[in-house]
Every structure is written in C-alpha cells, then in structure tokens.
Amino acid sequence: MMVSTRGRYALRVLIDLAENQRDGFVTLKEVAARQEISEKYLESIVKELVRAEVLEGLRGKGGGYRLARAPEDVSVLDVLKLMEGTLAPVACLEERAKPCSRAMSCRTLTLWEGLNKVVTDYLRNFTVRDLMRKDTDGFDYVI
C-alpha cells in the first residue's frame, strides 16, 4: 500500500486546521503557506473534505475552512479511504469488488485479508487529535 500525496496532504490540512482554527475559519492561503503546499492543489483536496462533511467552508471576508467535527472524531482511516478510494492490498478485497471465482481455492486470500485487517485496524485507532502537536517546543510533524 502506498499512500498518495492527496492522502498525506489531506491529513496535513486537517492537522493544521485543528491546531490553528481557534473559533473561526482559516484561509487556504494560510494553510498552504504553513504546509508549503500549492494552494491550487489543496483546493481539490479541501473540496472533497467539504463534500464528505469533514470540513466546513465559508466564502467571503472572514471565510476559509474549519473542521466540521472535533479532531478526536476524525479518524485517519476515514480520511485516507476518502482520499485514496481504497486501502485494500488486492483488488478482490475492495469494498465493491465482484466475488472472485477463485476465492474458495485461493491460497493467498487469507494472507491479504489479514494484511487488510491489520492496516485497517491500525489506521482506525488514530485520529486527527492523535496527530496534533503534543508540545510547543520545536515539535514539527512530517507526513
């Protein structure tokens, strides 16, 4: 499994917003500058996060983005599935996969199912809150 820049950047945006939104909205320009990511690229990522109701957006003066839920209610698994589409290690384990005619005789199926379970369970245990800055003395996260 390889997480794309879309998945990694989505997590960075969410962490940044969680740490900087206070009671208001944060502009994408500010997030892009802090994260050193193209604002244009972030627009497409944020658009999906708004559509999935992970973020709220507000246009105009004082507008920007903020988390639609508390950071502890946004799981890394959900964000990565949203951005990546699937995290399944093989096509037959994807959510909408057609039943495989070889499933009953597949000698590797249990291996892939186990890997899928480990990855899913691991990512489900992390939230945006878990990834937020733990201290303020030079701690800098990189995803």
The whole-number pLDDT of residue 62 equals 83
pTM, entire model: 0.87
**Count of domains for the chain:** 1
Residue 138 domain flag: no
**Residue 50 belongs to domain with CATH number:** 1.10.10.10
Residue 141 domain flag: no
- pLDDT, tens only, 26-66: 999 999 999 999 999 999 999 999 999 999 999 988 889 99
Residue 72 domain flag: yes
Reduced 3-state DSSP string for 35-98:
HCCCHHHHHHHHHHHHHCCCEEEECCCCCEEEECCCHHHCEHHHHHHHHHCCCCCCHHHCCCCC
Residue 143 domain flag: no
Is residue 141 very low, low, confident or very high in pLDDT (cuts 50, 70, 90)? Answer: low
Residue 36 domain flag: yes
The residue segments making up the domain with residue 108 are 5-131
Q: What share of the chain is helix, strand, coil (3-state, %, to 5)?
A: 50, 10, 40
Which tokens hold the place of 6?
């879309």
The whole-number pLDDT of residue 51 equals 97
